[in-house]
Copies of this chain bind each other. A is one copy, B any other.
């Protein structure tokens, strides 16, 4: 492989001139520029970015830590991150942690050892977990919760959940089941708070047996719904903490001979692409995945550049979308 010296020799100039021709062409005479370009073409030179990065002590890469890339909401955010990062000259290192803390650590180590300049987390992160990340490490949480420490982007999960449950109550539902994510998951906590607030505002007592704990997978939605089907006094609506669990739940309900939404309403959260196409279309909360990803990159790049963020916690608007999976409670 040819290096910058080969080009310099071929062009009859110094290596410094070649280097300048590439990174600051305006500082080189037209004649020299021309010679350099010809020489580059002739010897088939490609700058060694490894050396360039080494020299500049920057890798121009960012790690994206994601619990599960197969989750369509996350992959939507990642897509936006990749797009923006590419624009800004950064590569995206994919860190699919599968929820394993040791893998997370491996990736954090990658930025400590300079293989990446910063880190975007796509996992809700409460302040307690934050200790793992060294304070001087450039890092942004793109799926924050109310308790997230450090720079973060999030929606108002509590408010959105309240809006959703308020809506169900306005449809006449009083007995509203919840399919939650893991109960110690910060998103679950925020959304549960919204659920409780809504009930309280309507004067409906909170009942523990109406809460089923899932883990944000379709499979868990399937099982949790089964739990409700077995109850003597079934809920007339189910508030699911994400779309995948809602889709799984609907599957179970149908299998049990229940009609959605005529017999029971179901709501989701995230507005993944399937929410619009499943049967019935899901009433859900739309998260601005594209904006989240874009903003995360912008914030991180500033952090990498040594800036301090004037607005370290960004709360983006979410959208309440009514589709076909919800209906008036049957007057019983």
Contacts and interface: CB of A to CB of B under 8 A. Distances in A.
A91 interface: yes
Contacts of A112: 46
A32 to B, nearest CB: 23
Nearest to A110: B91
A277 B254 contact: no
B273 A251 contact: no
Contact of A277 (B50, B96, B115, B248): B248
Interface string A38-78: 00000000111111011001010100100011101001101
A48 B91 contact: no
A250 B279 CA distance: 10
Given A51-B54, A94-B92, A96-B82, A70 B114 contact: no
A200 interface: no
A43 to B, nearest CB: 14
Taking the full assembly, how many copies of this chain does it contain? 2
A61 B279 contact: no
A278 interface: yes
A115 B69 CA distance: 23
A206 interface: no
Question: Chain A interface mostly helix, strand, loop or mixed?
Answer: helix
A170 interface: no
A266 to B, nearest CB: 13
A279 B274 CA distance: 12
A218 B276 CA distance: 10
Given A274-B247, A279-B254, A94 B82 contact: yes
A68 B76 CA distance: 10
Question: Which of A59, A94, A251, A274 counts the most B-chain CB atoms under 10 A from its CB?
Answer: A94
Contacts of A91: 93-94, 110, 115
Interface in A207-241: 218, 222
Of A48, A50, A64, A110, chain B has the most CB atoms within 10 Å of the CB of: A50
Interface in A72-123: 72, 75-76, 78-79, 82-83, 86, 91-96, 98, 103, 106, 109-110, 112-115
B279 A279 contact: yes
Contacts of A114: 46, 48-50
Given A50-B115, A75-B75, A91-B115, A277 B69 contact: no
Given A61-B93, A279-B278, A47 B113 contact: yes
Contacts of A59: 50
Contacts of A64: 94
Interface in A102-152: 103, 106, 109-110, 112-115
23 contacts: A47-B113, A48-B57, A48-B113, A49-B115, A50-B50, A64-B94, A69-B69, A69-B75, A69-B79, A70-B72, A70-B79, A72-B72, A75-B75, A78-B94, A82-B95, A86-B103, A91-B110, A94-B94, A218-B273, A247-B277, A250-B279, A274-B274, A278-B279
Given A49-B110, A53-B54, 6 more contacts: A48-B114, A50-B53, A86-B106, A93-B93, A222-B277, A250-B279
